[in-house]
């Protein structure tokens, strides 16, 4: 049985009104609305990624040290065989000598 409108909480009424608004949109308006939301989300994610991106590597850290730490098992889920494959790939690609 459906819940009566008079017994809905304020939040439930708000959700219901938004759902009705979406259901009444034409196809063009609905696509426009979704595209706007998607664009906003991409822009937000891109700006957050830009602020989190490190401009310079950590001082005193090198690729060789990273590979040694991986080989020592300091990274959860990466065992020595995987670390070896990563090191070999780095050598093949010219990252290491």
**Which whole number is the average pLDDT over 31-58?**
82
pLDDT of residue 3 exceeding 80: no
Angle at 31 between CA 25 and CA 34, to 5 degrees: 100
Domain ranges of the chain: 5-52, 63-93
pLDDT of residue 1 exceeding 70: no
Which residue, 97, 47, 23, 26, is CA-closest to 67? Answer: 97
pTM: predicted TM-score of the whole model, two decimal places: 0.39
79 Cβ contact partners less than 8 Å away, ≥ 6 residues apart = 73
């Amino acid at each position: 049985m459906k819940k009566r409108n008079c017994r809905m909480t304020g939040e439930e009424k708000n959700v219901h009104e938004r759902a009705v608004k979406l259901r009444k949109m034409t196809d063009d308006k609905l696509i426009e609305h979704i595209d706007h939301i998607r664009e906003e989300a991409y822009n937000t994610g891109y700006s957050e990624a830009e602020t989190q991106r490190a401009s310079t590597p950590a001082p005193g850290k090198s690729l060789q040290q990273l590979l040694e730490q991986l080989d020592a098992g300091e990274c959860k889920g990466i065992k020595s065989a995987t670390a070896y494959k990563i090191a070999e790939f780095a050598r093949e690609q010219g990252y290491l000598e």
